[in-house]
Amino acid sequence: MNIEEISPAEALRRQRSGVVLIDVRESHERATGFAEGARGIAKAELEAQPQVELPALDAEVMLICQSGRRSLQAAQVLREAGYVRVASVEGGTTRWIAEGLPLTRPEGDFDFYDRYSRHLRLPEVGEGGQRRLQAARVAMVGAGGLGSPAAYYLAAAGVGTLVLADDDVVDRSNLQRQILHTEDRIGVAKVESARIALSALNPTVTIEAFPERITADNVERLIADADVVIDGADNFPVRYLLNDACVKLGKPLVYGAVHRFEGQVSVFDAGRHRGQAPCYRCLFPEPPPPEAAPNCSEAGVLGVLPGVIGMLQATEAVKLILGIGDSLAGRLLNFDALAMKFRETRLSADPECPVCAAGREFPGYIDYVQFCAG
């Protein structure tokens, strides 16, 4: 059965004579604008119960979508259900707008639907998932090499609040890899420079900037309300401190590290899954000697490498907030930039771990600098 396809101008003419026009796109698509006077009924809903919206089988009805494809499919379903006077608008809303025909933009949060339209099209995210991202709070320690790409992508994704903690200032040597910062902000506190950049990208995101060094005295204040914590630190004392605090408070910790041409990522979620998921101490019971793990200023680092690792950290954070996919909990992902290879190592919880072993009381914070100094 051939479905009649009509131009937007003809649809408008018929609509003004009393014919019903139905926009079969999803609600988030209609939120960016729809043909004036059209009724919004999602394709799946219309196909499932057409008699609710169109009780008369001989009723004349026109369907419109974004491009004309879905409306044509829906029209075919209606014809098979017995509706004999169904037409589809060729070119859909895209052509309707291009031809300058009257459009309605609904009241409400246009920025939300427009900005996150590509997320909203994903069934795994949708409006519900995007609202979860909007309500989420991510704490990030470090606004440097790893924090830059991670924060950029989380802000772009619409994470509602980003808490950034870093006591450093922007230096010219940072600009080779720390993409949050710019030449004209050399000497500015990194968290302030980050706030400027992230707010310019997405002004709907709240940036809480703390120009502070993370210590046992302030770590809980900074991460207590976070849904996810991201480790963008470049030293072992902070990594151990963050791990212990996240175990104590039951926070998932997204770990990342880079060295010369290699990087690694994991999720340590022992605080919520005692005895099942490992923590950072299960992987590294003791820190390596300083000479075995020099920092970037000593050993150097390929500028693009933190971008890869930070982006992966942001991906894991988004998945944890949305509750989708398989996180890297129990897995360590290693990346070799020179060979362009990823390698995965399985991790298990240490039943004797001094911090995360099942049933073990939190032992308290220690002098992490002294611990890492051996």
Any idea which residues carry the catalytic annotation?
296
Give Cα 237 distance to the centre of its chain. 28
C-beta of residue 272 within 8 angstroms of C-beta of residue 357:
no
Question: Per DSSP, which regions of 202-318 are E strands?
Answer: 206-210, 228-231, 253-259, 262-268
CA distance 142 to 223: 13
C-beta of residue 181 within 8 angstroms of C-beta of residue 190:
yes
Residues near 325 by beta carbon (within 8 Å), at least 6 away in sequence: 319
Cα-based torsion angle of the residue sequence 326, 332, 336, 340 in order, rounded to the nearest 10 degrees = -20
Cα–Cα–Cα angle for 313, 294, 256, rounded to 5 degrees = 10
CA distance 237 to 371: 8
How do strand 331-336 and strand 228-231 relate by DSSP bridges?
A: unpaired
Q: Which H or E run contains 4?
A: strand 4-6
